[in-house]
Structure 1
Amino acid sequence: MKFLAKTLASASLAAAVFAAAPASAQVQGNIAVVNTPLAIAQTNALRTAFQQVGTTYQTQITTIQQRQQQIETLLTQLDTNNDGGLDEAEQAAAQTTPQWQQIQQIEREVGQLTNQIDMARAYALEQILRQYSPTLQQVVTQNQVQMVVAPDSVIYAQPAADMTGKVVAALNTAVPSVQTTPPAGWQPSRQTVSVYQQVQQIFAIAQQQAQQQQAQQPTQQPNGR
């Protein structure tokens, strides 16, 4: 299995999306909004698991970064017109070069290493996902909600209708921790793969926002000047 994921998103970066909505928010009416991928992304168990995977697979992560730099160097060699990219003619010519063969080999290696990391993360996520439905039902019953809808199905809703924070709090209680080592032969379900990809997109957006905020911060001068 190979995920279309942002594997190198660090745990510290992922933490940007772990500030859940207030669990004490009052749900008004019979309809509530819950963002399932965001709720799972915000759980303490997933945050801790991603940190553990980052530590356990640090060698693989470092190797992936090094190999990606090698690919960039090789692509630069194939960019004959120096425009920063490969047009159709350059791509066609590149496929007969030693650099292209080397790129293919490196990409296979990166894919294998990436898959190891993704499998560990997905296994952690799936353990939370197994408890999601009963936990959601518990929150629904406690708040006397008749219908739960996803954010992309809503045209307008009051902030109080968002029950994602309550689900996060309940998941933190139901699943305080998870394992990150998949058993032999384990394969993620389709639902796990789908939610994992959505969670990785959340992390990618958080990374963009963090980078933008950092870029907008004024540079401090020495001695407070």
Structure 2
Amino acid sequence: MKMILKAAALAVAPIAGIAVMTTPAVAQSKMGIAVADLEQAVGKTNAFTNAMTSMQTTYKAQIDAFNARKATLDSELQTKANEIQSLQKTAGANSATLQPKVEAFQQRRAAIQQELATLGRPIGLAQAYVEEQITAKLNDALKTAMVKRKVDLVLQPQATVSYQPTADITDAVTAELNTLVPSAQIVPPAGWQPGQQQQQQPAANAPSR
């Protein structure tokens, strides 16, 4: 999601190489600059909030199974980690007994991460589907918020050193998204993968020969 939001921000307001200068002849002319946390703007929308609430019911079985399995596997890893720490204290870091256990721990941790990723995939896909429906309108929402606030340039918070609260238009972007995307579906179509909508849009807009 972060990459989508960053790409959307740059598409609307590229910031590289921009400098704001004033001269005596145009002393009263200035560029309107604002700050917007686009990821937060999406996360605060009614569509996203309501979708996450609905997912707690629709995907309850998958969420419960994931949480239960994760708790079991976390406990297993913690036990192994504690065992390795004890060996380090008693036998030393270079012990022939210690190294095989460290390698086994790393392999088991990788396997657990893969298992949890597979188990949580339906939940992750559902959330990604919700996010994509909203971010599809993010550029439009940001542009409208900029026009209404008379802003020429929007920066992400991490690209700034300091700013006044009045410069933050995150809530304004959220308000526009609420209008453009009042709700979002939480069940992806069969075979859907993240990024499909962005890939299909250029194809749909391509001129026919």
Matched positions, count:
162
Matched, 1:93 2:101: yes
Matched, 1:152 2:158: yes
Give the equivalent residue in structure 1 for 2:83.
80
Please tell me whether the aligned partners of residues 39 and 164 of structure 1 are also in contact (alpha carbons under 8 angstroms): yes
Give the alignment's TM-score, normalised by structure 2.
0.65
Instruction: Give me the whole-angstrom Cα distance separating, in 1, the residues matched to 2:61 and 2:36.
Output: 37
In structure 2, do the counterparts of structure 1 residues 96 and 105 end up closer, same or farther at CA, with 3 Å as the change threshold? closer
Letter in 2 for 1:37: E
Give the equivalent residue in structure 2 for 1:176.
182
- Once the two structures are superposed, what CA deviation does each residue of 1:122-172 show, in whole Å capped at 9, x if it has no partner? 100100000010111111112221111111111222111111111111111
Instruction: From the CA coordinates, give the structure whose radius of gyration is larger.
Output: 2
Instruction: Give me the whole-angstrom Cα distance separating, in 1, the residues matched to 2:157 and 2:196.
Output: 21
Gaps of 5+ in 2: 2-29, 199-209
Please tell me whether the aligned partners of residues 84 and 102 of structure 2 are also in contact (alpha carbons under 8 angstroms): no
Give the equivalent residue in structure 1 for 2:170.
164
Percent identity over the alignment is 32
Give the equivalent residue in structure 1 for 2:48.
46
Please tell me whether the aligned partners of residues 67 and 106 of structure 1 are also in contact (alpha carbons under 8 angstroms): no
In structure 2, do the counterparts of structure 1 residues 96 and 164 end up closer, same or farther at CA, with 3 Å as the change threshold? closer
Letter in 1 for 2:192: W
Give the alignment's TM-score, normalised by structure 1.
0.61
In structure 2, do the counterparts of structure 1 residues 190 and 148 end up closer, same or farther at CA, with 3 Å as the change threshold? farther
Determine helix, strand or coil for the equivalent of 2:154. Answer: strand
Please tell me whether the aligned partners of residues 31 and 146 of structure 1 are also in contact (alpha carbons under 8 angstroms): yes
What is the correspondence of 1:25-36 to structure 2 with a 5 Å cutoff?
30-36=32-38
Coordinate RMSD, CA, aligned:
3.3
Instruction: Give me the whole-angstrom Cα distance separating, in 2, the residues matched to 1:133 and 1:157.
Output: 23
Letter in 2 for 1:39: A
Matched, 1:62 2:84: no
Letter in 1 for 2:167: A
Gaps of 5+ in 1: 4-27, 193-225
In structure 2, do the counterparts of structure 1 residues 191 and 183 end up closer, same or farther at CA, with 3 Å as the change threshold? closer
